[in-house]
Structure 1
Amino acid sequence: MAGIISNSGLRNVLIDGIDLLGLPSYALAPVSGIFMSAATVSTTAGAAVASSVFSTTLLELGVAGLAGAAMIHAGATVLDHLPLGSFFHATAGSVLMSFQGRLKLIPYESVVGLTIAIVSTLIFGVFKLFL
């Protein structure tokens, strides 16, 4: 999947979108994590694909390796719980929850993931702590 994405226009669309919105270069890290976790419906796969596709660009833009990795991983937690993935079904099945009941939790999980991504971006992107 990383090869397909890196050779498609999606990579450039994300980079151009960050530029168009006037966001700082480090914003590419959590945004790429968000989009890649949505594409793979997995935190692990999303973070792996995002880091494979965008790591060189982030490093060239001056984002520290640790900061980029932390923000990509945090971004990957925002949409990793969509109904297409195994996490969605495993968590519903483990507590005998209906599909409709599990769907109702998606907004709450998204807010938690977005909060994680925002805090990580503040720590590693804005304030550059622990670097």
Structure 2
Amino acid sequence: MLNSVAAGRRLALRATAFQLGAAALVALAFLFQGVTSAAAAGLGGLAVALGGLVAGWIAFGKGVSPATGALGRVVAGMLLKWCVVILVVALALAWFKLPALPLLAGLVTVTLVFVVTNSIQR
């Protein structure tokens, strides 16, 4: 076995840390447009980071299990991740009336950081 459950947990936490940093940087970049735009960009990034943390918690929460159970947890984690992201985006747009473009910029940037972070081999 090449990877342990603990290594997966560490990877999920490391990815979340990088995502939170990227969300802060995107929010800082949109600060020149105003506090509302910065909040939207930060919330978009935070939605993806929170969803990724939930997905990692579900995928690696029970420890070692048979392949079908592990695959089911990974799929359930990804579904719940995107449910969290969609819920936060819907609330940000409908309830808080935040601007859509900074929100989308935060979502895309933090999603790309997730891909880059997980593609780096240690």
Q: Which has the higher contact order (CA 8 A, sep 6+)?
A: 2
Higher helix proportion, which one? 2
Normalised by the length of structure 2, the TM-score is 0.48
